[in-house]
Amino acid sequence: MTTTAADTRAPSPAPSNGPDRPRPPRRRTRAADRGFNRAFRYLATSAGTLILIALAAVAGFLLWQSWPALTSSGSEIASKVSFFQGQSSLASYLGPLIFGTLLAAAVALAVATPLAIGIALFTSHYAPRRLASLLGWVIDLLAAIPSVVYGLWGALVLAPTIQPVWQWVSNVLGWIPLFKGPAADPARVLLTVSLVLAVMILPIITAVSREVFLQTPKLHEEAALALGATRWEMIRTAVLPFGRSGVVSAAMLGLGRALGETMAVVMILSPGLTYSFALLLAGKQQTIAANIALKYPEANSLGMSTLMATGLALFVITMVVNMASRWVVGRRKEFSGAN
């Protein structure tokens, strides 16, 4: 959590360098690149390369394991895998799962992002300094609570407590397809899951947003205040525009985490494989990760392969989301002039 990432990242001569001695050429031109020096360089380089290999291996092994399912016809899988019955093809099985995964994560994001921005602003621009650092610590703590504990709490405490609330929501807002009633009792529904996911991704979105808000150039803020802006106007005109892309990438990081969450979903949701937006009805949606955890114990080898294929899809989705968020961050660096 350092705020210094931006100014130390540039590989060009660090500002503190006195007598000019550009860094990059140094490593090649040094005469002493042999013996231990060379061995150590190779060691470090191979560790770096190992990471690339590991990532490639993850993709490769998933592909290899899911190959039997990818190359079998839908009817062939259906004849051997019990959870596949009634599906015509791998795509028809995967479709609702992807839909459910995205829906759960999107709802969680919709709940978490505004809250996270609020907290981030509170700690960066409203709270007294001491309080702010304490609060930052509390938020970090929230991030450190294991997902299985969230699941336990969600299933045993939150779901029973919140059922009347969902009942009320479906009575009042039932005309919106999202909240179509009657709300399921017990509340093992997607909205409960998304709520728990929102709490889980809140810390990461908050932490990243807060870093960005803190990086707002002081000059901009003071200029706004000097022009007679109130604190909120200052935030609206100086801080938020500056932090927008940072918040977007923070939200995407949170999205990536919500997409892959397993335990909380397994423990809370009554799953089902449909393309339904009804958040308060039971047995309508399921996420990829939860489906794997639920189905793998009874899966035979082709069934395992089918699950691997869904895992591959999840891997690809989270990769895309992550890459997109890095891209947004990268762009911000180029244009912001923050350093």
Partner 1 sequence: MTVLVSTAFGIALVPLVWLLWTVVGRGIGRLDPYFLLHSMRGVFGGMDAGGIYHAIIGTVWVTVGAAVISVPVGILAAIYLVEYGAGGRLARAVTFFVDVMTGIPSIVAGLFAYALFSLFLGPGAHFGAIGAVALSVLMIPVVVRSTEEMLKLVPNELREAAYALGVPKWLTVIKVVLRTAIAGITTGVMLAVSRVVGETAPLLLTVGVIDSINFNPFEGRMMTLPVYVYRQFTAGLVPCNNPNVTCIPTINYDRAWAAALTLILIVMILNLVARLVSRLFAPKIRS
Partner 2 sequence: MDAWRSGFQSANSGVTVNYDGIGSGDGRKQFLSGAVQYAGSDAYLTDDEIAQAKTTCQNGDVVELPVYISPIAIAFNLKGVDSLNLDGPTVAKIFDGKITKWDDPAIAKLNDGVKLPSTAITPVHRSDDSGTTQNFTQWVKANAGDAWPYEPSQTFPVKGGQSAQGTPGVAQTLQGGEGTIGYIDSSQVGKLGSAKIKVGDAFVAHSPEAAAAAVAKSDVVSGRATSDIAIDINRTLTDSSTYPLVLVSYDIGCTTYADANTAALVKGFFSYVVSDAGQQAAASAAGSAPLSSDLAAKAQAAVDAIKLG
Binding site for partner 2 (CB under 8 A): 82-83, 85-86, 159-160, 182, 184-186, 188, 266, 270-274, 281-284, 294-301, 303
Q: How far is CA 299 from CA 47, 50, 93, 132, 292, in A?
A: 36, 32, 15, 49, 10
- Footprint (CB under 8 A) of partner 1, residues 131-190: 135, 138-142, 144-153, 155-157
Which of 83-91, 111-119, 171-179, 218-226 is the region at the interface with partner 1 (rule: CB under 8 A)?
A: 111-119
Which of 79-87, 209-217, 238-246, 307-315 is the region at the interface with partner 1 (rule: CB under 8 A)?
A: 307-315
Q: CB 14 → partner 1: shortest distance, Å?
A: 5
**1 versus 219: smaller Cβ distance to partner 1:** 1
User: Of these, 77, 90, 103, 117, which contacts partner 1 (CB under 8 A)?
Assistant: 117
292 lies in the binding site for partner 1 (CB under 8 A)? yes
Residues 252-291: x/- map of binding to partner 1 (CB under 8 A)?
Answer: -x--xx-xxxxx---x---------------------x--
Q: CB 298 → partner 2: shortest distance, Å?
A: 4
Q: Is the peptide bond between 182 and the residue preceding it cis, with omega within 30 degrees of 0?
A: yes
Q: Which does 283 bind (CB under 5 to 8 A by kind): partner 1, partner 2, none?
A: partner 2
Q: How far apart are CA 119 and CA 280, in angstroms?
A: 28
Q: What are phi and psi of 34, to 5 degrees?
A: -150, 180
- Footprint (CB under 8 A) of partner 1, residues 12-51: 14, 16-18, 21, 23-24, 27, 30, 32, 36-37, 39-41, 43-51
